[in-house]
Structure 1
Amino acid sequence: MHRRTFMGALGASLLATLEPAWAQGYPNAPVRMIVPYAAGGGADAIARLLGQGMGNELRQSFVVDNRPGAGGMMGAEAAAKASPDGYTVLVAGNPELTITPWLQAKRSYAPITNFTPVVLISQSPNVFVANASIGAKTLHAAFDAAKRSPGGITVGTPGNGSPQHIALELLRARTGLDIVHVPYKGAGPATVAALGGEVTFALVGAPPLLPHIASGKLVPLATTQPRRSPLLPNVPTLGEAMGVMREDDFVTWYGLLVPSRAPADVVAQLEKAAFTVLKRPDTRARFLALGTDLVSMPGAQFAERMRSESTRYRDIIRRFGIKGA
């Protein structure tokens, strides 16, 4: 072989080995799906359901990597710092993407600039519930009953700085009610507190509440969103129940994202695979069983929602001087 031809072939060979994996046919290796919460929770279940379906579509395994800690920020930070090659994706919620960073003096990542949204998967309504012993069927009547009790209106939430805490502060400001916020370390403990009468009310996401609502131990009184949830179609919104916060949307949502600067064709493949899974006839029923409403919002709209919601939460946090856990 002529020396120049040999050197050209050698250079092309070396170049091929240095090309990003996506250029050689994405995906040709397992995809790591970071979930910033422990295994067994709602976000984990959603990620595994979606990951299994996307793996079948793309003929490559999606391996869930649970990275809990710091209210979801540890996992989100790990994803933000990962190589933007499409082999690390993130399934995360609005706490770590639009809320918690505003509660920190120093932020280790910037969600709006460090991630490219792929699809907004689903959302879970936040629900005001009371122990059935309160004997009231509407939120207005339940608040009136609680005001006459020794403990007053005590509301348990998953913690300081949570979407539920922020919604509660806004409700207190708009109604003038003397509401006592009682933060817990998660939705589960807040639910248990309402069941045991430790607090009069709980305001948490739907998944841990649904079994107790079905059993009649907890009474659902209102959801914190503009329209009724398909999960609880007979439960009014706060606008319907109290005449306030009609357009406010305080839900917990879950989305699929990749580190920014990921190749556009890789993002497009991930989005197509995700939508194929989410549009299957049985998918909605499987998500409803997890206590979450299917949304299936495209990446561009998801990005706009992140930006507007981040600004709204920032303003509320600053207005009320809300502190994180």
Structure 2
Amino acid sequence: MNEKQCIPISGLNARVGDWTEWSGKPVAESLNDCSGYAVAVIVRTQGIRQPLLKEALTSVSVQSNPCLAVVVVHAGAEILERVESVCREIPSLSWVMIHAERIENKRGYPLNIGLQHACALLNDVEAVAFLDDDDILYPDFSARMIQALGETGADVICAASNRSVPGQAVEEGYRPIPFLNLFVLNFIPINSYIIRLATLAKTPVFFDETLDVVEDWHYLLQLLQNGFRFEAIMDVLSEFRVISDGNKKIKDNPEKWENAYRYIHAFIQDGSFLINGQMIRRMMTDQNIKAAENQENLNAMQMRLEELESRLLEKTDQVIALLEKNDA
């Protein structure tokens, strides 16, 4: 690693202090100007899965609309050189690497570091997204998301996402459903949405750093609580991979999950949420459509049963007539 401790990028470091109290400074970068990027993609990594990290960063580098990778390294200083090396192996990647040095902190901490720096890019970047180092974005992610952001005027755009398990074919993962289901389900992968940076800068929302798991679910609920308007598109624009990671011990701990779910349920029960009326109307419309579809399916099934019953009675009458004829 070179001796540089802090690289000023478009005045980034000067602006960071205006946002939050978290530590974390850029320690390496690939550019002198952050302007002209559609999305700042916050890539959370511990630097221990370098081949996967390279795939994740490559997926950022090939976006049809240019993206800036904000690579947040949540690890000791000895890992920084490895991650910087991975970044430099991708010539087309625009990136800044930030050291989230408090390794004892939980999963929300590196994401908050990334958000802190993304907010400082308000005048240069339109939206922010998240990507774990074992997941990938599909090439049209940024273009379609930014297009939907402009067409809908929403604050958050969600898209569909595929799911993959090593050694198996990629399969359908998440498909958008009415967003108010977030009050009962954690169903939106962290790599499948973007947030309008102007709204986030006006109403900063950060991850809860007390949670060992499902911090992403809690974050989405916070966005709803603060009145962010959600819209969905059905395009499949990302892929989350089911791979064991450095948090396996935590994720395999039932007590951690139970505590997290209790925490979130209490947050929902005790909270007051600024839900956009258009979102509620769309949810009710979706429910009415689904109810109509269900009723239509029931009607079709009833007609089919009646048809089968009629045929059965007809066959029965034919058999009885044949038997009576034989008896005669």
Shorter-chain TM-score: which interval?
Answer: under 0.3
Whose relative contact order is higher, 1 or 2, with alpha carbons under 8 Å and at least 6 apart?
Answer: 1
With normalisation by structure 2, the TM-score equals 0.25
